[in-house]
């Protein structure tokens, strides 16, 4: 199954990233931890193969800052371990030729 995520952002009152824009600009190499809620925007079907997949749309994005960030990361890591059986995520955001 291929889940697609629509690139559109939620409306301003549901996009907490707008409130930390200055913080992101001041430290563009930081990792930003967020909690995001998605809704199904549509379901797409390939009539030749019969494959169906959902297209999700972000409904609400909130950055998690301060002491709450560590708790959010623990929850994320626990969910990852439950889903995959792996102990930790490989979150190497540095390096590469994308800069």
65-75: average pLDDT: 96
Question: Is the residue at 89 inside a domain?
Answer: no
Segment 3-24 mean pLDDT: 94
Is residue 96 situated within a structural domain?
A: no
For the chain, the domain total comes to 1
Q: Report if residue 66 sits inside a domain.
A: yes
Q: What is the pTM of this model?
A: 0.77
Is residue 94 assigned to a domain?
no
Other Cβ atoms less than 10 A from the Cβ of 68: the count is: 12
Q: What is the pLDDT of residue 88?
A: 73
Q: What pLDDT is recorded for position 63?
A: 98
**Model pLDDT for residues 16-69, shown as the tens digit of each residue:** 999 999 999 999 999 999 999 999 999 999 999 999 999 999 999 999 999 999
């Amino acid at each position: 199954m291929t889940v697609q995520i629509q690139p559109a952002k939620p409306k301003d009152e549901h996009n907490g990233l707008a409130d930390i824009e200055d913080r992101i600009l001041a430290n563009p190499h930081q990792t930003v931890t967020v909690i995001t809620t998605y809704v199904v925007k549509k379901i797409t079907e390939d009539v030749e193969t019969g494959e169906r997949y959902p297209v999700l749309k972000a409904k609400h994005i909130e950055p998690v800052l301060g002491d709450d960030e560590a708790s959010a990361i623990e929850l994320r890591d626990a969910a990852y371990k439950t889903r995959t059986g792996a102990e930790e995520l490989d979150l190497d955001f540095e390096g590469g030729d994308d800069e």
